[in-house]
Amino acid sequence: MAYETFSKTDVLGCDTETSGLSSATGKLFSIQFSDGEFNVLVPLSEGIAAGRLADLLADETKVKIFHNARFDLDFLSTNGYAVANVYDTMIAEKVLTRGANQSVSLAETLYRYFAIDLDKSQRAKFNRKWDGIWTDELVHYALADVVHLPALRREQCDWLERLGLVETYNEQITKLVQPDSGQ
């Protein structure tokens, strides 16, 4: 059902939950997907495979929206997932704020755009000693990080266009997905 729903959309918010900051030493616990209305958490930590949802990550016709894509892409790649056609809301926010000395964290960015107060307190529970139990609070936390990404991308794309910064954003995202380009 999730695959059928998401296969009908052009953009898909994506996020991961991990045990740490390094894909070399950390574990990938989950992948979350959202089209802004329908949300899915795939609990990889429980042995649940991404199945056909992994095909959506690699689908070049669908935009996958991440916040701090470098982090998520590193974990996904290390765990054998290919991801194509990436949009990074953190990079877009850096381009849009251009030295305004504003935080580009997801919580701060969502508050600026939508007055959404994102509770990040559950994040600390995902560590090497996590018991692996997906409580309602943890699922809600994980999905809250991804549900707003499609709307945030729409707003940012509008602002990038208005301010003439689309090319600057495209240069930055190219460096992310093709780190050796331009060297």
Which pLDDT value is given to residue 180? 52
Q: What is the SS3 assignment for 18?
A: strand
Read off the tokens for 116.
């959404």
Q: What is the DSSP letter of 49?
A: -
Buried/exposed 123-153: b ≥16 CB within 10 Å, e otherwise: eeebeeebeeebeeebbebbbbbbbbbbbbb
Condensed to tens digits (0 to 9), the pLDDT of residues 1-28 reads 999 999 999 999 999 999 988 999 999 9
Query: Residue type for 81, please?
Result: Y
Q: What is the dotted CATH code of the domain comprising 2-177?
A: 3.30.420.10
Condensed to tens digits (0 to 9), the pLDDT of residues 44-77 reads 999 999 999 999 999 999 999 999 999 999 999 9
Read off the tokens for 159.
């602002």
Task: Specify the pTM.
Answer: 0.93
Condensed to tens digits (0 to 9), the pLDDT of residues 86-122 reads 999 999 999 999 878 889 999 999 999 999 998 887 8
